[in-house]
Amino acid sequence: MKWIAFVLKSMRRSKLRTLLILGTMTFGVLVVALLLSLLTTLDSVANNPNSTNRIVVRHKSGLTQVLPRSYEAYLKQQPEVETVCGLQWFGGFYQDPGNFFANFASDEETLFQVFREEFGASGITEEQLKEYIRDGSGCIVGKALADKFGWKVGDTVPLTGTIFPISPRLTIRVIFRSPKPSDENVLHFHTKLLEEGVPRMKGRVGTYFVRTKSPDDIPRLIERVDRNFANSASETLSETENSFNLSFVKMLGNISVLLQGISLVVLVALIFVAFSTMAMAIRERTTEISVFRALGFTAQRVMGLVILEGLVLTGAGGALGLGLTWLLAAVLRPVMGSIFPFFQDFNVQTGTMLLCMGGALAVGLLSTFMPAYEAVRKPITEGLKTL
């Protein structure tokens, strides 16, 4: 403890330099941790373990085009297929256009089977399922969405259509929980309600989500489905659900390379600033180091004290940076999530925090080891000349 007290006292000698290192480390760790957390979030979109045995079948011309309902029968006949659910993006809003969230017209009979991982943590009872299926104007919502608007089971939710000229009044029959926050910011209602209100959607659907019996079945199933509907009036484009989700991430451009580049630049700048600042501080204390050695302190102990000071400084800056990152992530999550739903999962992972703290301590070690080693190598008499 006495050495820690000594280090803290030594840090107070040049408050400006101490604040410079603390500020540099705090800002650097804040930026790197945020960028790494963004990369982790984006990576989870394309590597969602819940989607490994699901494919998406959509119109080859794009998501604005629809597919015939007759395709569903063919998909269900394939030996690799477990079940099929048709989904149509509705794009409605609640009360105000600013209250935008994901909402779909979905096949109520198969929705829970295809997305059983997303609904599995909810503890949805058989009675609730039957009530939802029975009620043609019923809907299911995620808990995060229900908490946001203060909804509860039995409440009426009026949705104003933007793409389709209907505004259904829905009754909440199920509020579900999901392991991922982004999966709880969604509303599903009966596809029949859309078909009855919009005649042109009768017998049509936007996409089919197909659950296969095994992930190994996916490649040959994708090839067979697209080959079967080739040269038809509505050609298909089939892909894994992870690839489908990744296409939305690509709207942001090659953001992964950009984030990695920025992280590297910040890291190099951080090392340079820390190294030059600590080297300057140690050079100014050459005489003090020589005095310690003249009093009987070993070179190893003196060197250890100098390195300890660097580790305390950079460690404190790293901890402060991670604390600010955690607070900033809580502020950014709902803002970014309102634009891209998958950013509702944005948070600072434990692995990211450990990596950043380890990096901060490594910077402290690297920036002090060589200057401290050079200082203790000097003859004591040479260091005492300036006295």
Give the per-residue SS3 of the chain. CHHHHHHHHHHCCCHHHHHHHHHHHHHHHHHHHHHHHHHHHHHHHHCCHHHCCEEEEEECCCCCCCEECCHHHHHHHCCCEEEEEEEEECCCEECCCCCECEEEEECCCCHHHHCHHHHHHHCCCHHHHHHHHHCCCEEEEEHHHHHHHCCCCCCEEEEECCCCCCCCEEEEEEEECCCCHHHHCEEEEEHHHHHHHCHHHCCEECEEEEEECCHHHHHHHHHHHHHHCCCCCCCEEEEEHHHHHHHHHHHHCCHHHHHHHHHHHHHHHHHHHHHHHHHHHHHHCHHHHHHHHHCCCCHHHHHHHHHHHHHHHHHHHHHHHHHHHHHHHHHHHHHHHCCCHHHHHCCCCHHHHHHHHHHHHHHHHHHHHHHHHHHHHCCHHHHHCCC
Closest among 199, 166, 189, 195 to 101, alpha carbons compared? 189
Give mean pLDDT, residues 164-177.
91
Q: State the burial class of residue 383 (Cβ atoms within 10 Å of its Cβ: 0-12, 13-18, 19+).
A: buried
pLDDT tier at 250 (50, 70, 90 boundaries)? low
Q: What is the pLDDT of residue 107?
A: 92
Residue with tokens 């910077």: 363
Q: What is the pLDDT of residue 117?
A: 83
The torsion angles phi and psi of 114, rounded to 5 degrees, stand at -70, -40
* Beta-sheet strand order (sheet of 186-190): 93-94, 156-160, 169-176, 138-142, 186-190, 102-106, 81-89, 207-212, 54-59, 236-240
Q: Rounded to an integer, what distance in angstroms lies between the CA atom of residue 348 and that of residue 366? A: 26
What is the tens place of the pLDDT at every residue in 11-53?
556 666 777 777 878 888 888 888 888 777 777 766 777 778 8
Tokens for 122, please give them. Answer: 């909810």
Q: What is the pLDDT of residue 296?
A: 63
Beta bridge partners of 106: 87, 190
Q: What is the pLDDT of residue 106?
A: 94
The torsion angles phi and psi of 285, rounded to 5 degrees, stand at -110, 20
Q: Rounded to an integer, what distance in angstroms lies between the CA atom of residue 387 and that of residue 376? A: 17
Q: What is the pLDDT of residue 189?
A: 94
Structure-model confidence comparison of residues 4 and 64, the more confident one:
64
Q: What is the pLDDT of residue 4?
A: 59
Tokens for 338, please give them. Answer: 């309102």
pLDDT tier at 7 (50, 70, 90 boundaries)? low
Closest among 189, 177, 104 to 147, alpha carbons compared? 177
> Where do the structural domains in the chain lie, given as residue ranges?
2-46+253-384, 61-234
What is the tens place of the pLDDT at every residue in 295-306?
666 666 766 677
Give mean pLDDT, residues 247-276.
67
Tokens for 239, please give them. Answer: 């892909």
Give mean pLDDT, residues 71-77.
94
Give the CA radius of gyration of the chain: 30
Residue with tokens 């990744």: 246
Give mean pLDDT, residues 143-163.
90
Q: Rounded to an integer, what distance in angstroms lies between the CA atom of residue 283 and that of residue 191? A: 74
pTM: predicted TM-score of the whole model, two decimal places: 0.72
pLDDT tier at 260 (50, 70, 90 boundaries)? low
pLDDT greater than 70 at residue 68:
yes
pLDDT greater than 80 at residue 280:
no
Q: What is the pLDDT of residue 159?
A: 92
Report in angstroms the alpha-carbon separations of 340 from 244, 251, 302. Answer: 14, 10, 53
pLDDT greater than 90 at residue 59:
yes
